[in-house]
Amino acid sequence: MRKLKAEVDGEIEVGGPKLAASLGKLGLVDEYQIYLRPFVLGRGAPFFAGVTPKLRLVGSERIGEGAVKLRYAVG
C-alpha cells in the first residue's frame, strides 16, 4: 500500500471501517471523507475502534436531501 500511495498522483479511495482502520494505523491516511445519512441500522463496525486519530474538520458538503459529506484531515 505504501508503494501504491507513492506512485499514485491524487486520491486513493477505500471503503469500510476495518480497511480504513488498518491503513490509519500504518499512517497511510491523510484525510477521512465520511458520508453521513442519519438512520439506525442496529449494528456495525466503528471507524475508530481503539485509538482515535487527531482529526481536523476541513470541509462539509450537503448531498441531496438527507446526507452530508464530512472531510477530516489527519494530524
At 74, phi and psi to the nearest 5? -90, 135
**Dist CA 15 CA 18 (whole Å):** 9
The values of phi and psi at residue 6, to 5°, are: -70, -30
Q: What is the pLDDT of residues 26-73, one digit of tens each?
A: 888 899 998 888 877 777 777 777 778 899 999 999 999 999 999 999
What CATH number does the domain containing 69 carry?
3.40.430.10
Read off the pTM.
Answer: 0.73
CB 5 within 8 A of CB 28: yes
- Domain assignment of residue 9, given as a range: 2-74
Q: How many domains does the chain have?
A: 1
SS3 for 28?
A: coil
